Amino acid sequence: MQEGKNGIIVIDKPENISSSKAVTLIRKTLKVKKAGHTGTLDPFATGVLVCCLNQATRLARFFLHGEKKYRAELRLGIETDTQDNTGVATSTREVADFSTDDIREVFNRFRGKIMQWPPVFSALKHQGVPLYKLARQGRPVQKPAREVTITAIEIMEVALPYVRFDVECTGGTYVRTLCADIGAGLGCGGHLSALRRTVSSGFSEAEAVPLSDVETLVRNGEIAERIIPMGEALRQIPAYRADSGLVERIVHGRTVTEKDFLPVQTAPTKGLIKIVDENDNLCAVLDAQKNPDPYKYCCVFH
């Protein structure tokens, strides 16, 4: 693959590898100059990892806060310092013979907008230092609670002390903190014992390439078929096809106003817009804001 290749490749990340390590392997195997992901998966977690290649790394910010879906396993009765199965047990309690209705009642408390305390073992930073490094040094820092949204949560199986469930949430939600909070709500504590991301920013596990298959696809000349072009990647942003005149204005960074879209299309008046040319190549992402005249440039691609 040449360095000029731009686009998105969706990877199915295996266990026991960090997201950054997975991206490094992608960059080296595909021989691209730049690569980055759009949301970290912990090393023990598996599933959808969206990787941006070359110029597509500039699109990463549009994916970071997108909806994500997970299949998770909660282990009741044991609390850990990391809130997951990689940590040290800090509390062990007996798990009562909860009914599914008992458990569902507590789960339902976490639907909608909730306040969540970020874990002290996380990649968030304090004065430039990741929190997990400070925690490992015995200097944990607790960041303020922040609002997240649990769009949907459904119990899939109860096999005490384990509860398996699906959850859909906004970016920035910590599923391990959700597990710890549910365990606390049940009075016995708990931690996240397994996690798989099934959807990230509109990309599903059905589209994902197992990390172990990437090298074979490259060797067989089939990897290009698995790369999503930039013009198709921003699925949640409406597309507006520009004629050659408007493309020319945009690539040179000239002012774009409502009249530039007429009479071909109704001018967008609110939110983000992706501009594609007549071949569906991504030219730019614009922001209409509250007043669309003129439009604000987010990024431009030549």
Task: Report the catalytic residues.
Answer: 42
Q: Which of 185, 183, 197, 196 is nearest to 80 (CA)?
A: 183
With a CB cutoff of 8 Å and minimum separation 6, the contacts of 51 are: 8, 9, 10, 11, 22, 23, 26, 35, 36, 37, 38
Give the CA angle between residues 174, 7, 222 to the nearest 5°: 110
Q: Answer whether 300's CB lies under 8 Å from 283's CB.
A: yes
